């Protein structure tokens, strides 16, 4: 059974940093593209970043490019999202999700093509 568990969320001041983790079980990262998504109250879910299985290629939403970094540790079956220079508008519940494929590249999207999801972790950026 595929499981994804996010952790690392919390309350941080503007300009601060957090590192989110997405621990996966029941499957190996070798065959899955992993995406990070977020949903703020009253807003639609949006894609934040993604990383492919075959090449480790990454992509980012324009709003986080240069501030967020996605990475993976296949040995630990974990994907990370390092978030720096956080802004109040980054406040949201953050989710990771998995899609079975061997794509060489990934596009940031709203997540309709991802079939397995974690429960989410809250990130609040506030002074």
Mean pLDDT for 67-91 is 96
Among the residues of the chain, which ranges form H helices? none
19-50 pLDDT tens trace: 999 999 988 888 999 999 999 999 999 999 99
Which residues lie below 8 Å from residue 89, measured CB to CB, with a gap of 6+? 40, 63, 125
Could you identify the residue written with the tokens 């621990």? 23
pLDDT (0 to 100) of residue 102: 85
CB atoms within 10 A of CB 32: 25
Cα(109)–Cα(49) distance, rounded to whole angstroms? 9
pLDDT (0 to 100) of residue 27: 85
pLDDT (0 to 100) of residue 103: 87
């Amino acid at each position: 059974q595929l499981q994804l568990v996010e952790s690392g969320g919390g309350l941080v001041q503007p300009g601060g940093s957090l590192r989110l983790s997405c621990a996966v079980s029941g499957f190996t990262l070798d065959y899955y593209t992993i995406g990070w998504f977020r949903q703020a109250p009253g807003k639609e879910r949006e894609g934040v970043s993604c990383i492919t299985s075959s090449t480790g290629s990454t992509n980012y939403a324009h709003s986080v490019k240069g501030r967020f970094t996605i990475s993976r540790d296949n040995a630990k079956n974990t994907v990370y999202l390092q978030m720096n220079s956080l802004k109040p508008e980054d406040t949201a519940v953050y989710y990771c999700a998995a899609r079975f494929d061997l794509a060489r590249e990934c596009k940031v999207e709203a997540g309709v093509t991802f079939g397995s999801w974690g429960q989410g972790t809250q990130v609040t950026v506030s002074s």
